[in-house]
Each structure stands twice: as C-alpha cells, then as structure tokens.
C-alpha cells in the first residue's frame, strides 16, 4: 500500500524528465527579465511571450502555491553539478537535478534547464516593470547528494540528552562505571559537598562488561566518594534501574513480587539494587521531578546531535506527563528547533483517558504533534523480559512476562482507536506481538484500524502465523536495525537455532505486506541514522562482521537501499500522519532535506558510515552546516 500523495501535483508540461546535464554556462546566474526583453527583436514576440508566461505562471501558482503568503519569486534553487543526484523518494519523479524552495516549501523539481526556463518566465510576468531579479541557483559539491529530511521513528528525546549529562555507556567493567560516577561527582563542587543530593545517570550496559553480571548497590558503596549517596542509574535499554543502598532503604518495605517486573535478589533473598521493568516504578517516588530548565538543557543537547546527523524529525516514544507538559510549553513559547511527534505514555495502573485527553495536532508551526498513545506490552530481550510463546533456551524456567494483562490490551486498544488515537505498542517477544495483533483485530468492529495506522514498536520476534497480519491490518513495524547488529551475538543462545530466524526478520515483514519505519531507540543506540541505514542493508557491525561472516547475519532478511531510505523518510511521515506535507521532495511539501557528502545509494557499503552531513534543512532554512 502506498501512502497518500500530496494533493499538489505538477501539470504535465511543468515536470519533465531530466534531459541534460549542466554545462559550465548553466552555473551562471539566470539572466534578468530586462536582459531577455532587450534581446527580443519585436513588440509582437515580446507580447506573445508575456501571454504564454502569464498562462504558465497563473496555472503554476494556483495549482501549487496556494500555501504561500507572498506571490513573488522563489527563495532559491539548489542543484547537483553532475546530473540527477537528488533522491526525492517521490515515485512520480524519483531522481532530479534541481529543487526550488520558496517560503519553506518545495515548489519545483527537475533538470537545471527546466528550472531556469520556468522560473525566468514566472519572474518576468510577476513584475510589470520587468525588474525582477533572477532565480538564485546554488550547487552542492560534486559527489554529494540530497535526500528528504530524515526521521528517527523511535527515540527517547529528553532521555538522550540526559545521557550526555552523566554518560555511562562504553564502560567495560562495573568498577569503571563506578569510576565514571565518581568523576562526575568530583566535577560538581556543590554535589561533592552535599551527600544528600541525588545522583542520576543513564546508559550502563552490563551485557558489554567483561563479566556480564548484574551490578549491585554494594558496588556503589565500594567507592568512598560515591558511597552513602542517593543514586539512581538507568540502564541503556531503559528496562532496568541500578540504585544505591540509600535508595533501597528508602523504598522499604519492598513487595515480594511486582506484576510485570522483577526485583533482583541475592541467594538469601535480599534485594541487590537492580529493578527490572515495572519494578522500576518503586523508585519513582525518590526521583526528583526535573525542572523546565533541566529539560530544556537535555532537549537542546539532543537537538544539537540530531541535526548534526541529518535528522529533521523525531518520534518520541514516551511522553510521560512531565515531558508532555515540557513540549507543550516549549511549543507555546517558541518554535521547536526540530519536528517532534510524541506518543503519550499509558500507565498500566491508570484509568482510561483517551476520551478526555486533548490531542496536539500541530502546534509550533506544525512542528509538534501528539495524537498517539504508547503502551508497553512486555519487557526487553536483553534483560530476559520479552514475552515468548516458549521458554527461553538459556533459561527454561521463564518465558518472559507481559507488563500488561492481555485482557487489558483487548479492552483499552479498541477504546483508544474508537476515540481517534493512533495506538503504538512496545512489543518485543513473539507472544507479546501476537497478543497485540489480537487486540488490533478485536478493534475492527469498533474502528477503521488501518486508517488509524497502528504501530508495533520494535516488533522484534514474530511467529510465522502473525507475519501476515501486518499487511492485512495495516500495522506498521517500527524497527531499529542497530538492535539487530547488537543482539545477533547473544540472541541464538537465548532463543535457540530455529526461533532465532524470526528475530529481526525485516524482509519477511515487507514480503507479508507490512510497512517498516526505521529508528534508533536512542539513547539505547546512537543518534546517527546512517548507522541504522547501514545495518538494515548489510546486517553487519560497523567493522563488517557478523556471526554468519561478512555476508551478514541472515542476509536474506536485508532491506534494499531504497527501502531503507524510504523507511527513514516517507514511511515515518506516513506513520505520523504527515505524509501529505513531509517525507519526500515533492511539490507542495515542506522543504526538509539533507545534503550528504557521498552517494549512500551507490557507494560501497563499507564507505557509508564515512559519509558526512553537509547541511540539514528544515522549512527551507539551514539548521546545520551550509548550502
């Protein structure tokens, strides 16, 4: 199924195939209308040209430029000096040489000759005195390309910025991680002097330590500077908290069990200081609510990295009440520096709110939308919490767990859909994915499920019987390719040699009619979208390795380059109900685009990650680099 196209389409005479590459003369500025007039030998020919131009410009503007506030010439044209190197992701016009941007919108696309011819004529007619200036034409460097603005379809925006404050990722031992915490405390005189102040951080990953065992509160007490403080540290995947003894004591008495979560205990039954999934809620009362200024810092740190890597939009997979209010206030006070599509978190213990909560449909000049709900079905594969049909191969005592009861899923999902909410569900294990698909099917009698574009966030392990339901229901698979290249090293031990084939089965999802959007799950993975692009088409690590050799891990599940590019541009736009204004370089859409230093669609795969972002552009304006 193709996403709906922009209603603004070019007349057949205005969008032609590229017919010529630019000559050196093409690089000169377009001649002014007065110069054109001077070259004409008779009033009759001039009069005829004006009539033709008037008809051309009138048709052009009325069909395409209804959104523009000023009926005058374009802001600029941007072209490739060596042929059609602009990948539009527009099926009607897939590669062009030039684009024209006016007032933040794409208004034309074609060869350099076509653009010069069309826009000279328009400029001549619009100015009765024939004094309109020529169309400014700029060129990207030779070898560079342009693609539509890139979307990361699954992020934790403020949390990524949080990781930049006290970075814990990349350590090799628990001792090194504790050392990072000490360095942070030492660098903050007020924190060092006051042991009652809470220390928070994000990013530890015990699966990357030399001894892949869970950390403990005792590890935090081993350092004299760190010891005795209230400390709460989020794991890289967001599914575990590591807390100090100070916090553990404050949480007493702890329940024996937590539905949908785990309190890690030692052999004597004492809590060790690690809380999984829903058990993390036990520590929430001891976490201070961040101030607006703190959240602003985190957001700005995220945006800084995002635009530097070519991101123009992010889908935030977890607006809790604090972050929702932050973005609402930010959007009211100023224009967001990047587009944000937010998923409002549904707390399993809360009452249904879909019939009374207000959706945000496009504030901050269309840059903030929050019309979807995010539900957690199960835990994570990394922590053994993904809900499976059969027990884990490496731990037959468990099949993982659901964070929400199947009966609740079948109750609330139809209600949210009936009330017009897009429903996005975190589902990793095959059982969790199957149960969510059951709930979507049950909702068919209440709502047009396909029209509301439901999403499975992660969709990591899928039983064959569930694959076909993606296409039939119109469910979108929101996947993170770099998760595959991370997990491939331990996943078979966890799932066994047969079940592993249904993990990260990108090609199978597409072949069953599913639509895929690509994301990073940052801060679980890095911010660079090209890392996901590379992983999707190679299924290799950045070093070119995999458990199956240099050909890739289950290479039959690779995506094509065009599928991956579409998964970062047009498909995320569809998944956020924005495909009429974003996702492709098409006339009438907002001028979001990225200039890459290399042609990622043709160069050798080992060179893809060497590609630099030369410019990131939102609404026609450069937010990173230059053009």
**How do the residues of the chain divide into helix, strand and coil, expressed in percent and rounded to 5?**
35, 20, 45
φ, ψ dihedrals at 85, nearest 5°: -120, 25
Coil, strand or helix at 452: helix
CATH number for the domain that contains residue 206? 3.20.20.140
What are the CB-based long-range contacts (under 8 Å, 24+) for 7-14? 7/580, 7/588, 8/63, 8/64, 8/66, 8/586, 8/587, 8/588, 8/589, 9/63, 9/92, 9/587, 10/63, 10/64, 10/108, 10/587, 11/59, 11/60, 11/63, 14/56, 14/60, 14/108, 14/118
Q: Does the pLDDT of residue 1 top 80, yes or no?
A: no
In a domain, 49, yes or no: yes
Give the domain-ending residue among 577, 592, 617: 577
Enumerate the β-bridge partners of residue 517. Answer: 478
Q: Are residues 238 and 174 in the same domain?
A: yes
Q: Give percent of the chain above pLDDT 90.
A: 78
pLDDT for 383 equals 82
Whole-number Å distance between alpha carbons of 601 and 270:
55
In this structure, are residues 54 and 123 in contact, taking their beta carbons and an 8 Å threshold? no
Mean pLDDT of 587-611: 98
Q: Are residues 408 and 510 in the same domain?
A: yes
- How would you class 335 by CB atoms within 10 Å of its CB: exposed for 0-12, middle for 13-18, buried for 19 or more? middle
Enumerate the β-bridge partners of residue 101. Answer: 76, 106
Token pair listed for 18? 């590229």
Mean pLDDT of 253-259: 93
Report which of 104, 39, 113, 41 is spatially closest to residue 67, judged by C-alpha positions. 104
Q: Are residues 220 and 83 in the same domain?
A: no
Token pair listed for 29? 């500025």
In a domain, 127, yes or no: yes
In this structure, are residues 46 and 40 in contact, taking their beta carbons and an 8 Å threshold? yes
Give the domain-ending residue among 139, 172, 192: 139
pLDDT in tens, 493-516: 999 999 999 999 999 999 999 999
Q: Give percent of the chain above pLDDT 70.
A: 86
R_g of the chain computed on alpha carbons: 27
Report which of 556, 559, 571, 568 is spatially closest to residue 535, judged by C-alpha positions. 559
In a domain, 445, yes or no: yes
pLDDT for 67 equals 30
pLDDT in tens, 36-63: 333 333 334 433 333 333 333 333 333 3
Got the DSSP string for 548-584? T-TT-SSGGGPPPHHHHHHHHTHHHHHHTT-TTTSSS
In this structure, are residues 589 and 618 in contact, taking their beta carbons and an 8 Å threshold? no
pLDDT for 236 equals 86
- Sequence-distant (6+) residues with CB within 8 A of 393 are 493, 494, 495, 496, 499
Q: Are residues 93 and 223 in the same domain?
A: no
Q: Are residues 171 and 46 in the same domain?
A: no
Whole-number Å distance between alpha carbons of 470 and 459:
10
In a domain, 618, yes or no: no
Q: Are residues 380 and 504 in the same domain?
A: yes
Q: Are residues 496 and 526 in the same domain?
A: yes
In a domain, 36, yes or no: yes
pLDDT for 55 equals 37
pLDDT for 37 equals 38
Q: Are residues 65 and 193 in the same domain?
A: no
pLDDT in tens, 144-187: 999 999 999 999 999 999 999 898 988 999 999 999 999 999 99
Mean pLDDT of 456-467: 95
pLDDT for 129 equals 43
Q: How high is the mean pLDDT of the chain?
A: 87
CA dihedral 569, 570, 576, 580 (to 10 degrees): 130
Give residue for tokens 């996702």.
583
In a domain, 364, yes or no: no
Q: What pTM was computed for the model?
A: 0.81
Structural domains counted in the chain: 2
In this structure, are residues 85 and 146 in contact, taking their beta carbons and an 8 Å threshold? yes
pLDDT for 527 equals 97
Coil, strand or helix at 450: helix
In this structure, are residues 583 and 278 in contact, taking their beta carbons and an 8 Å threshold? no
What count of residues does the chain have? 627
Mean pLDDT of 210-226: 94
pLDDT in tens, 104-153: 999 999 999 999 888 876 554 444 443 445 678 999 999 999 999 999 99
223 vs 382 pLDDT, higher one: 223
Token pair listed for 31? 């001649």
Q: Are residues 131 and 265 in the same domain?
A: no
Whole-number Å distance between alpha carbons of 339 and 569:
13
Q: Are residues 98 and 213 in the same domain?
A: no
Q: Are residues 81 and 162 in the same domain?
A: no
What are the CB-based long-range contacts (under 8 Å, 24+) for 381-385? 381/428, 381/429, 381/460, 381/461, 381/487, 381/491, 381/494, 382/207, 382/237, 382/239, 382/487, 383/235, 383/237, 383/239, 383/240, 383/276, 383/277, 384/494, 385/239, 385/262, 385/276, 385/277
Task: Show the domain range for 41.
Answer: 24-139
In this structure, are residues 550 and 507 in contact, taking their beta carbons and an 8 Å threshold? no
Give the domain-ending residue among 561, 577, 593: 577
Whole-number Å distance between alpha carbons of 133 and 183:
59
pLDDT for 134 equals 67
Q: Does the pLDDT of residue 617 top 80, yes or no?
A: yes
Q: Are residues 119 and 250 in the same domain?
A: no
CA-angle at 369, arms to 363 and 370, nearest 5°: 125
Q: Does the pLDDT of residue 621 top 70, yes or no?
A: yes
Give residue for tokens 């990073």.
520
φ, ψ dihedrals at 248, nearest 5°: -55, -45
In a domain, 10, yes or no: no
In a domain, 488, yes or no: yes
Highest mean pLDDT pick, 286-295, 380-389, 573-582: 573-582
């Amino acid at each position: 199924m193709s996403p709906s196209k922009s209603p603004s389409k070019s007349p057949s005479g205005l969008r032609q195939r590229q017919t010529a590459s630019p000559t050196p003369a093409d690089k000169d500025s377009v001649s002014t209308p007065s110069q054109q007039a001077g070259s004409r030998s008779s009033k009759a020919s001039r009069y005829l040209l004006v009539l033709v131009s008037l008809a051309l410009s009138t048709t052009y503007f009325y069909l395409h430029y209804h959104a523009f506030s000023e009926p005058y010439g374009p802001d600029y044209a941007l072209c490739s000096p060596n042929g059609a190197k602009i990948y539009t992701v527009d099926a009607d016009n897939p590669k062009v040489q030039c684009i024209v941007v006016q007032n933040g919108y794409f208004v034309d696309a074609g060869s350099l000759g076509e653009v010069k011819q069309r826009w000279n004529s328009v400029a001549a007619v619009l100015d009765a005195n024939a004094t309109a200036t020529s169309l400014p034409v700029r060129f990207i460097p030779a070898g560079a390309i342009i693609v539509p603005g890139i979307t990361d379809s699954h992020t934790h925006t403020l949390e990524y910025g949080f990781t930049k404050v006290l970075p814990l990722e990349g350590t090799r031992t628990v001792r090194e991680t504790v050392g990072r915490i000490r360095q942070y405390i030492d660098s903050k005189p007020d924190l060092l002097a006051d042991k009652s102040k809470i220390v928070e951080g994000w990013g530890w990953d015990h699966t990357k330590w030399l001894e892949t065992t869970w950390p403990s509160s005792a590890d935090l007490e081993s350092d004299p500077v760190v010891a005795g403080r209230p400390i709460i540290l989020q794991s890289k995947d967001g599914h575990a908290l590591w807390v100090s003894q100070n916090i553990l004591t404050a949480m007493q008495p702890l329940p024996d069990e937590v539905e949908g979560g785990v309190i890690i205990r030692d052999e004597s039954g004492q809590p060790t200081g690690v809380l999984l999934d829903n058990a993390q809620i036990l520590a929430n009362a001891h976490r201070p609510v961040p101030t607006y200024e703190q959240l602003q810092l985190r957001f700005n740190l995220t945006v800084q990295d995002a635009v530097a890597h070519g991101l123009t939009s992010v889908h935030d997979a977890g607006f809790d009440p604090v972050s929702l209010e932050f973005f609402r206030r930010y959007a009211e006070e100023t224009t967001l520096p990047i587009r944000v599509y937010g998923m409002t978190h549904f707390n399993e213990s809360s009452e249904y709110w879909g019939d009374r909560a207000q959706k945000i449909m496009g504030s901050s000049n269309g840059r903030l939308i929050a019309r979807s709900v995010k539900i957690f079905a199960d835990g994570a594969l990394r922590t053994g919490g993904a809900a499976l049909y059969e027990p884990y191969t490496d731990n037959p005592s468990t099949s993982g767990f659901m964070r929400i009861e199947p009966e609740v899923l079948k109750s609330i999902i139809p209600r949210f859909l009936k009330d017009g909410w897009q429903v996005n569900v975190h589902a990793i294990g095959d059982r969790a994915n199957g149960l969510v698909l059951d709930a979507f099917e049950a909702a068919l009698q209440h709502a047009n499920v396909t029209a509301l574009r439901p999403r499975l966030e992660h969709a990591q392990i899928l039983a064959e019987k569930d694959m076909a339901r993606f296409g039939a229901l119109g469910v979108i698979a929101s996947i993170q390719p770099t998760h595959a290249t991370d997990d491939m090293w331990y996943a078979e031990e966890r799932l066994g040699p047969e079940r592993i084939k249904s993990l990260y089965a990108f090609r199978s999802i597409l072949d069953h009619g599913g639509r895929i959007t690509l994301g990073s799950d940052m801060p679980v993975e890095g911010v660079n979208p090209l890392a996901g692009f590379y992983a999707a088409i190679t299924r290799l690590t950045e070093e070119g390795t995999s458990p199956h050799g240099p050909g890739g891990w289950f290479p039959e599940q690779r995506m094509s380059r065009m599928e991956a590019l579409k998964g970062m541009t047009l498909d995320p736009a569809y998944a956020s109900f924005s495909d009429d204004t974003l996702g492709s370089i098409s006339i009438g859409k907002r001028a979001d685009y990225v200039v890459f230093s290399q042609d990622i669609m043709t160069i050798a795969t080992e060179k893809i990650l060497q590609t630099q972002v030369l410019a990131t552009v939102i609404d026609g304006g450069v937010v990173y680099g230059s053009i």
